[in-house]
Amino acid sequence: MVLMATSEHTGVARGPGAKQWPQSRQKIAIVIWISFLVAALMSLLFFGLIDPVDLLETSAINLGESREQGYAMLFFFFWMGSAASATLAMRLSRTTQARPES
């Protein structure tokens, strides 16, 4: 039986020897993970309607000829866009802790 310790401020159970991530690293991980999921969903919706080969044929820039390249390029484009959006949202939603009144 493994005893789990509980973090005071998050209430999350942790195993023995588990280290607490710094808050900045937690925020980076949250932004990367959420933006990855959003990019995956956007890719599913977008590529359900549009074939990447057709999209690349209509563009003036020669970026490649295969579907896989189109999927990869637009997925990373969606990922960077959603990461920028998530980062901006996280920075704008910063809150300060209430100071105890004297």
Domain boundaries, the chain: 38-92
Tokens read off for 50: 């549009």
Q: CA–CA separation, 39 vs 78, rounded Å?
A: 5
The SS3 of residue 22 is coil
Q: Is the pLDDT of residue 81 over 90?
A: yes
Alpha carbon 37 to chain centroid, angstroms: 6
Looking at this protein, which amino acid is placed at residue 70? G
Count of C-beta atoms within a 10 Å radius of residue 83: 18
pLDDT tens track for 8-54: 555 565 667 777 888 888 889 989 999 999 999 999 999 899 887 77
pLDDT-derived band of residue 67, with 50, 70 and 90 as boundaries?
confident
**Which residues, other chains included, contact 82 with Cβ-Cβ below 8 Å and sequence gap of 6+?**
34, 35, 38, 39, 42
